[in-house]
Homo-oligomer: A and B are copies of this chain.
Amino acid sequence: MAARRLIPLLDRVLIDKVQAATKSTGGILLPESVSQKVNEGLVVAVGPGRRNKDGDLLPVAVKEGDKVLLPEYGGSQIKLGDKELYLYRDEELLGVLKD
């Protein structure tokens, strides 16, 4: 059975947060304060965008597969099947990361 999908509405963006490294490369458990608070995520799905005052659709600025820098606050947590994902507004996302 195909996994459940969510198509975000308006200018919402579905994000899969990158989990912070809790172990050092040598496998030692990092204390909370050390395991760097990672605010990054992968774009899983994007909404169609928001309408401007004339009714034209303003597309969202990121696309599926982009790695984005997330604000410290904001975003709402949702459950899709047993996966924990986050919904942000396009406007909240800080930038696209290029490694």
Contacts and interface: CB of A to CB of B under 8 A. Distances in A.
Interface string A2-46: 001111111010100000000000000000000010010000000
A65 interface: no
With a 10 A CB-CB cut-off, give which of A5, A7, A9, A71 has the most chain B CB atoms: A9
Interface string A59-99: 00110000011011000101100000001001101111111
Given A61-B10, A76-B71, A98 B5 contact: yes
Interface of A: 4-10, 12, 14, 36, 39, 47-48, 51-56, 58, 61-62, 68-69, 71-72, 76, 78-79, 87, 90-91, 93-99
